[in-house]
A and B are shown apart, each in its own frame.
Chain A
């Protein structure tokens, strides 16, 4: 009764120009009482109907009946994602960075610049083309350039464990090679990747992969490509310029551990592969082109082990990753210069060059609490062996050239990163880089990596 009077008062306040006579109030009260009764009955009826609906089996809905209003709007459009990357880097000012003892591999995505820089931004577009193929484009954008990092199609319907990929793709050799920089655990590539490929080995060609029908994961792949990338060169031929083979094996150990191991082999050739050298000109050293032509073969072994308590990496997880390589090259060395006094004038053959070099890296990354990870990486390269005729070579090229150094490049890096969500990451990295003989470069990198758009898939 008390509630009704409150309602009545509220109602009378709400109704304009109601004469507040006793009679009127009485009528109003009756009306409200009736309304209340009728509403109560209706609510009761509704509740009964609800209860009946609850106990009855739910009719199965036809597919897509759930009303994916927001989802269907874009479902025929490709998945688009954009990676924004930038950094602040503090390092020594070294005019032409190259790893001592190693043939400089031309390409890398900057990252060597000092100060505040915008890294390349990656635009990734992918979608199923039809039930049989999937396509993907990855473009790296920098000032004045857009580089096609990957542009490929992949079969979905070959079956029996086979997948064929065609176009430009990151080669399946090793472990890290297939990962784009935004997926790396450190701000830069391992020295090994820089020495072997500049950063990545990409193929313009075909890749055939086969997964064995076994409980143990076993995957075998073969690639044929143009072979234009370092350590090969574009040789304008009808046949393939590079071939690669790889095998991966992996499994879980209990609930908390998973591993993958791999062995890969890459064979390619170079013709007049260029690098900057200093000559022995009596009038003062000139910068000349050193040219290598010959065969290059690389073997890479990789191993990754991951731990997550109860297989749930959300809170804590640990990742250990290591790769080793051995590269053998054999061919001819030459040098070329346009300077009249240079011993390399017009191109001079400098005899055979055979080299066998090796190295690797090992890194561990530990997520000790949600959002926070720390990591350590050790890089090392061996001087290996180089066979050439010193008398011929040093008649034209200065023995002080970094390529001829007998030196063991090394680098220690530590990093900490913070990811407030799956889509953003801030990273601080400190490194002691001794990849150049006589230089100890203590580097500080502060980096951001932001992913917009489609949900990136977590690859192992």
Chain B
């Protein structure tokens, strides 16, 4: 028996490890940002994809194996991954990417967070003490994260530091122009009242001046119930909500129920990179998000 274990362990040790600069991103938007900044010098793996709720992930064996071989972990932070990232990192046995090490990067540390709760009580649902973690839908946040992230890449992979710095400059320039364009396109949306499934779009609404007229979830992380939906229906009418938005991973049913009764459209926004056909990179993400708004509420 012991021999069998030694043999298995020996076999595993003999297998070659990957050579590139490996980045483990918790969400697709950070994998996309790492690709923008690193180009072909990095290999970015996204632990989740757009069809997954980043709150509800399990510490699957494949994630532990990926974290084991990463030189840098790029995550949202603010407790978004509290349910699965800590065991993944601890089980990985990779010292370099543990919280507090240079190989551990949390994007929410570099932006101004919204909705920091005044009261921490689970009676308010699954509240995040550090504020709303879904920061990626305000492109100005991406700009704010890109600088420190490029710097971190350069510190860990010093031979390519100049490469990361140059790409960061180019990305920032391109993003600034795109932001100006998106803001112009979205100007007519200002003041529009929107109902969201979960507090997933607060940063988008804040950026474009949209008004959240309610959420399908009665409290964060609590499934929509019929009593709450009925109340929301009246709210949608009195508040003159014009659109309901959901992420690709939210159940479409509560939104469809309300859309039908309130007579307003339901739009599925990509939410992150890969969330729709067009949202293949960070620029496509916003192009498609705005297109969805224009389509649903011309």
Can you list 11 pairs linking A and B with CB atoms under 8 Å apart?
A: A54-B183, A58-B144, A66-B108, A66-B112, A67-B113, A156-B98, A220-B12, A245-B5, A311-B51, A312-B249, A421-B126
**A163 adjacent to chain B (CB < 8 Å):** yes
Q: Is the CB of A217 within 8 A of B15?
A: no
B12 adjacent to A459 (CB under 8 Å): no
With A70-B117, A371-B223 as known contacts, state yes or no: A217 contacts B61, CB within 8 Å. Answer: yes
- Shortest B199–chain A CB gap in Å is 15
The answer, among A69, A248, A455, for a CB contact under 8 Å with B79, is A455
- In the complex, the answer to whether B126 meets A68 with C-beta atoms within 8 Å is no
How many whole Å from B67's CB to the nearest CB in chain A? 9
Contact A312 B53, beta carbon cutoff 8 Å: yes
The A-contacting residues of B in range 176-217, CB under 8 angstroms, are: 176, 179-180, 183, 207
Contact code string B59-71 (vs A, CB < 8 Å = 1, else 0): 1111011101100
Contact of B172 among A55, A57, A216, A312 (CB under 8 A): A57
A200-218 residues with Cβ-Cβ distance < 8 A to B are 209-218
- Within 8 Å CB of B116, what residues of A? 66-71
B68 in contact with A213 (CB, 8 Å): yes
0 or 1 for each of A142-170: is its CB under 8 Å from B? (1 = yes): 00000000000010111111110000000
19 additional A-B residue pairs with CB within 8 Å, beyond A265-B1, A421-B221, A459-B58: A55-B183, A57-B172, A60-B143, A61-B144, A131-B98, A157-B95, A212-B15, A213-B15, A214-B69, A219-B64, A247-B5, A250-B60, A312-B56, A314-B53, A371-B223, A422-B221, A457-B59, A458-B57, A459-B87
Chain B positions within 8 Å of A213 at CB level: 15, 17, 68-69
Query: Does A460 make an interface contact (CB < 8 A)?
Result: yes
CB contact between A312 and one of B8, B51, B94, B96 (< 8 Å): that residue: B51
Given contacts A58-B140, A162-B93, A214-B15, are A458 and B61 in contact (CB under 8 A)? no
- The listed residue (A63, A67, A71, A156) touching B95 by CB distance below 8 A is A156
For residue B240, CB closer than 8 A to chain A, the reply is: no
Within 8 Å of chain A (Cβ to Cβ): is B166?
no
For the complex, is A110 an interface residue (Cβ under 8 Å from B)? no
- Judge if B227 is at the interface, Cβ distance under 8 Å: no
Question: How far apart are B23's CB and chain A's nearest CB, in angstroms?
Answer: 15
B101 within 8 A of A: yes
Given contacts A60-B144, A457-B87, contact A258 B60 (CB under 8 A): yes
Chain B residues in 8 Å Cβ range of A61 = 109-112, 144
A252 CB-CB contact with B under 8 Å: yes
A381 to B113 Cα, complex, angstroms? 55
Judged by a CB distance under 8 angstroms, whether A36 is at the interface is no
Q: Number of A residues whose C-beta is below 8 Å from B?
A: 74
Contact A68 B130 (CB under 8 A): yes
For residue A159, which residues in chain B have a CB less than 8 angstroms away from its CB? 93-96
- Residues of chain B within 8 A (CB-CB) of A422 are 83, 126, 221
Taking a contact as CB atoms under 8 Å apart, the answer to whether B61 and A251 are in contact is yes
Kindly list chain B residues whose C-beta atoms are within 8 Å of the C-beta of A456: 83
When distances are taken between beta carbons in the complex, the residues of chain B under 8 Å from A34 are: none
A93 interface contact, C-beta 8 A = no
Within 8 Å of chain B (Cβ to Cβ): is A226?
no
What distance in Å separates the Cβ of A349 from its nearest Cβ neighbour in chain B? Answer: 30
A411 CB-CB contact with B under 8 Å = no
Contact B59–A459 (Cβ < 8 Å)? yes
Q: Is the CB of A255 within 8 A of B140?
A: no
- Does A128 have its Cβ within 8 Å of any Cβ on chain B? yes
Let me know if B180 and A55 touch, CB within 8 A: yes
Which A residues touch B96, using CB under 8 A? 159
By a CB distance below 8 angstroms, the chain A residues around B131 are 66, 68
Q: Is the CB of A421 within 8 A of B125?
A: yes
Top 10 A-B pairs, shortest CB-CB distance: A250-B61, A217-B61, A159-B95, A212-B12, A217-B65, A310-B51, A213-B17, A71-B129, A161-B93, A66-B113
Instruction: Known contacts A55-B180, A299-B1; decide if A247 and B8 are in contact (CB<8 Å).
Output: yes
B residues 83-113 in Cβ contact with A at 8 Å: 83-84, 86-87, 90-96, 98-101, 108-113
Q: Choose among B17, B61, B122 the residue that contacts A248 (Cβ–Cβ < 8 A).
A: B61
8 Å CB contact of B1 from A245, A258, A314, A421: A245
Q: Does A89 contact B (CB under 8 A)?
A: no
> Contact flags (1/0) for A416-447 with B, using CB distance below 8 Å?
00001111000000000000000000000000
Alpha-carbon gap, A307 to B175, bound state (A): 38
B147-188 residues with Cβ-Cβ distance < 8 A to A are 147-148, 172, 176, 179-180, 183
CB distance from B177 to the nearest CB of A (A): 11
- Contacts A61-B110, A422-B221 hold; do A210 and B93 have CB atoms under 8 A apart? yes
**Which B residues from 216 to 233 make CB contacts under 8 A with A?**
221-223
